Amino acid sequence: MQDKEQEFKAEVEKNIQAQGQDASLRGFSNIWVRETARYRYSYNFSWLGRPIIQLPQDIVAMQEIIWKVRPQLIIEAGIAHGGSLILYASILELIGEGGMVLGVDIEIRPHNRAAIESHPLSKRIQMIEGSSLSESVVAQVRQVARGKSPVMVVLDSNHTHDHVLQELRLYSPLVTVGSYLVVFDTLIEDMPADLFADRPWGKGNNPKTAVWEFLKTTDRFVVDREIEDKLLITVAPDGYLKCVKE
């Protein structure tokens, strides 16, 4: 049985590597993401009753990461409707250990807060309202993270270059070796400018450009290419960062 499982795993890894090297397939995937983004495709989904605003492929990737890492704490900047918090909490509940989710948002709308706090998984969720860059919020997050390991961080709030770069600098020290720092919506760099005409971010000013600059200054993190080679369709190309050093 073990030999069969290893054989299957090896076949999957070979397929992932091959499709990751297929430039045409990657191009088709990028076109698909671009065209569906015009219809806000990622808004179509929910997780256990809460809107999640993510692509299904990235939802699956986060499930795989959480199950593998088994974090004691997942910190997410950007709450919105709370679907991601519920996703992370549900996987931690299945793991069955003491893992918690900490969400940070500059504005937690009352109806979203009420829905999250009344959810069956709320026991695994804490929330802080305030800017993810403010000294007081960062101090609160560090206090919650103290003594916990593994720790995972997800950035999905303001998508401007300067904001994300500052988040990376402030929150990356909390990520433990073997865990992940996930930066969502790096795909903005690869999309047409007219998709974000009403937003303060766009080509040249987005999470991916922040990740590129951040990676020039640290050897603690590497882009986990296998994840995006596996997904092909993702909002986070270059955004799945694995912590490889203390």
Rounded-to-integer distance, Cα 9 and Cα 150, Å? 25
196 vs 151, residue with greater confidence? 151
pTM for the model stands at 0.96
pLDDT digits (tens, 9 = 90+) for 84-138: 999 999 999 999 999 999 999 999 999 999 999 999 999 999 999 999 999 999 9
The pLDDT of residue 35 is 95
pLDDT digits (tens, 9 = 90+) for 150-177: 999 999 999 999 999 999 999 999 999 9
Average pLDDT, the chain: 96
Q: Are strands 100-105 and 180-183 parallel, antiparallel or unpaired?
A: unpaired
Count structural domains, the chain. Answer: 1
Cα-to-chain-centroid distance, residue 150 = 16
Rounded-to-integer distance, Cα 135 and Cα 130, Å? 10
Place of tokens 């800017």: 131
The pLDDT of residue 37 is 92
Record the tokens describing residue 91, joined without a space: 């996987």
- Give the range of the structural domain holding residue 173, as residue numbers without chain letter: 2-243
> Are the CB atoms for 231 and 19 separated by under 8 Å?
no
Rg (CA), the chain: 18
The pLDDT of residue 194 is 83
pLDDT at 83 over 90: yes
pLDDT at 184 over 90: yes
CATH of the domain at 116: 3.40.50.150
